[in-house]
């Protein structure tokens, strides 16, 4: 039973103490009280299907019993540890985490957030290569601090302030909206197959643009790193054309730089076919950054790299008070165990493909659905004005979004025009849940667009 402040009291506290930069996600936001696996319950006991997992964070299920038990056991032993001492949970965890990655990616930094992880990755790449320039993609999101505001290219988070020099953005290779169009990578078996025999025909053009950036803005041969999400998240679930990441990595390597795979949203089996999103692209990064689902909601993140790159600290120490504390490492290890024991990667594949297929059926009935895309349980539905690619006006998108919530399903908006429904649920979701979600989304679109 909910015993906290009333809804009205919380609204008052929000307007008084919360920064205005923390917007309302809904006209009438949900007051959460409890979570269980793919379900959330509000203060009045109303049930919601959690199709966004608290920003792609709840990987194995809200308040998963196995995680709760592991956490409770550890709480009674010790909360906090530092690198001054040894602690078994931390070492067990980093051993198991590196076993999930290619062999030489076996040095693990434990940190607290995706922002910290990507910031540390830029430091490592610069120190290792001796170069200073960093390239990422338009509409990417890699975190929020004074330097990552330069790395991220999602306009809604970029303030009108100077960012440190040395950040450049290449054209995002977006098959739906990118300058040269294109087809999708392997998912495309499900969401609109790429018929190109090898590399997608558009890849050459996007690579040419990256090459021009390297020869002009960034001095040739002097790049420190290229950052890419394996499927863009906040940018609106953007998948890249076949071969793009492979060619980009080759080009960056030729110019002296490292490839950093941001697996903050795409890691831990979410994309279904593979444990890591980069594997779909047939590439092996030099550095992998992880956050969100790594801790199922507990503050934990990581940077994994090779011994050679980690040696770039060249005698200096790395310090992070909370990074890799005993509680976080305990949860992290339990998350990895649950993904294995409950075969959640496999579930992501089967339920994800089913979800995408059902959404494609829905697209046939609703001309406002311009594009359905994704891989596994990383899914996007882009809303447009019928018969065009013009983003559906945000007021209509928000009405549909609100209606979906009122009928017991939570999804989140994303993309440059906030017209993409993003669905990235806990990986324990079932086909029956998908059927429920689809019927709610169907009714909401009908209701709002036929008004």
The least CB distance from residue 66 to ligand PMP, in Å, is 23
Only one of the segments 99-107, 108-116, 246-254, 277-285 lies at the binding site for ligand PMP (rule: CB under 6 A); that segment is 108-116
Burial of 299 (0-12, 13-18, 19+ CB in 10 A): middle
Q: How many residues bind ligand PMP (CB under 6 A)?
A: 15
Give the span between the Cα atoms of 363 and 365, in whole angstroms.
Answer: 5
Stretch 193-232: interaction string toward ligand PMP, x if CB under 6 A: ------------------------------------x---
Q: How many CB atoms lie within 10 A of CB 307?
A: 10
What dihedral angle (degrees, nearest 10) is formed by the CA atoms of 138, 144, 146, 151? Answer: -20
142 interacts with ligand PMP by CB under 6 A: yes
* Using rule CB under 6 A, residue 114 touches ligand PMP: yes
Which 227-256 positions form the footprint of ligand PMP (CB under 6 A)? 229, 233-234
Asked if residue 142 lies in contact with residue 169, where contact means CB atoms within 8 angstroms, the answer is no
Tell me the closest approach of the beta carbon of residue 248 to ligand PMP, in angstroms.
Answer: 17
Please report whether residue 264 would count as binding ligand PMP according to CB under 6 A. Answer: yes
Task: Compute the distance between CA of residue 23 and CA of residue 394 in angstroms, rounded to an integer.
Answer: 15
262 binds ligand PMP (CB under 6 A): yes
Q: Which of 62, 115, 202, 296 binds ligand PMP (CB under 6 A)?
A: 115
- DSSP E strand stretches across 127-281: 133-137, 167-170, 223-229, 258-262
Q: Of the ranges 35-43, 98-106, 139-147, 409-417, which one interacts with ligand PMP (CB under 6 A)?
A: 139-147
**Whole-number Å distance between alpha carbons of 327 and 73:** 10
Among 443, 123, 156, residue whose Cα is nearest residue 314: 123
Find the binding residues for ligand PMP in span 308-327 (CB under 6 A). Answer: none
User: What does the alpha-carbon distance between residue 124 and residue 102 come to, in Å, rounded to a whole number?
Assistant: 19
Residues 6 or more apart in contact with residue 280 via CB below 8 angstroms = 185, 186, 187, 230, 271, 273, 274, 375
Contact set for ligand PMP, span 274-293 (CB under 6 A): 291
Task: Please select the residue that binds ligand PMP; options are 59, 113, 147, 188, rule is CB under 6 A.
Answer: 113
Length of the chain: 451
Q: 50-79: which residues touch ligand PMP (CB under 6 A)? A: 55
From CA 449, how far away is CA 443, in angstroms rounded?
10
Q: In the set 141, 176, 180, 421, which binds ligand PMP (CB under 6 A)?
A: 141
Stretch that binds ligand PMP, among 34-42, 141-149, 276-284, 356-364 (CB under 6 A): 141-149
From 270, 354, 292, 379, select the one nearest 51 (Cα to Cα). 379
265 contributes a contact to ligand PMP by CB under 6 A: yes
Assess 143 for contact with ligand PMP (CB under 6 A): yes
Name the residues that contact ligand PMP, by CB under 6 A.
Answer: 55, 113-115, 118, 141-143, 229, 233-234, 262, 264-265, 291
């Amino acid at each position: 039973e909910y015993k906290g402040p009333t809804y009205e009291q919380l609204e008052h506290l929000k307007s008084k103490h919360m920064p205005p930069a923390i917007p309302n996600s809904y006209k009438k936001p949900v007051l959460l009280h409890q979570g269980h696996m793919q379900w959330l319950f509000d203060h009045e006991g109303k049930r919601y299907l959690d199709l966004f997992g608290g920003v792609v964070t709840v990987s194995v299920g809200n308040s998963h019993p196995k995680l709760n038990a592991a956490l409770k056991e550890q709480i009674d032993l010790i909360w906090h540890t530092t690198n001054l001492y040894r602690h078994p949970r931390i070492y067990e965890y980093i051993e198991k985490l590196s076993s999930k990655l290619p062999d030489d990616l076996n040095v693990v930094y434990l940190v607290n957030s995706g922002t910290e992880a990507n910031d540390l990755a830029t430091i490592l790449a610069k120190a290792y290569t001796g170069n200073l320039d960093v390239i990422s993609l338009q509409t990417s999101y890699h975190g929020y601090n004074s330097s990552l505001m330069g790395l991220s290219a999602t306009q809604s988070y970029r303030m009108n302030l100077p960012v440190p020099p040395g950040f450049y953005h290449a054209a995002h290779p977006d098959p739906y909206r990118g300058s040269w169009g294109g087809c999708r990578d392997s998912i495309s078996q499900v969401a609109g197959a790429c018929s190109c025999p090898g590399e997608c025909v558009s890849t050459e053009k996007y690579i040419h643009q990256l090459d021009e950036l390297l020869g002009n803005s960034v001095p040739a041969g002097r790049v420190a790193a290229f950052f890419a999400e394996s499927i863009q998240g906040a940018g609106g679930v953007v998948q890249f054309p076949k071969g793009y990441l492979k060619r980009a990595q080759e080009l960056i390597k030729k110019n002296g730089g490292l490839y950093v795979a941001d697996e903050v949203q795409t890691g831990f089996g979410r994309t279904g076919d593979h444990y890591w999103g980069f594997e779909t692209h047939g590439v092996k990064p030099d550095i992998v950054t992880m956050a969100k689902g790594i801790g199922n909601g507990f503050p934990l993140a990581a940077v994994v790299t090779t011994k050679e790159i980690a040696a770039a600290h060249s005698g200096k120490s790395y310090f992070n008070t909370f990074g890799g504390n005993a509680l976080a490492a305990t949860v992290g290890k339990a998350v990895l165990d649950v993904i294995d024991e409950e075969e959640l990667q496999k579930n992501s594949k089967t339920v994800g493909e089913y979800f995408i297929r059902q959404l494609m059926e829905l697209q046939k009935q609703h001309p406002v659905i311009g594009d359905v895309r994704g891989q596994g349980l990383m899914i996007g539905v882009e809303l447009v004005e019928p018969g065009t690619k013009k983003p559906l006006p945000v007021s209509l998108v928000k009405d549909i979004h609100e209606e979906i919530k009122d009928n017991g399903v939570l999804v989140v908006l994303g993309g440059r025009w906030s017209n993409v429904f993003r669905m990235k649920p806990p990986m324990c979701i079932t086909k029956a849940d998908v059927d429920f979600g689809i019927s709610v989304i169907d009714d909401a679109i009908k209701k709002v667009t036929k008004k």
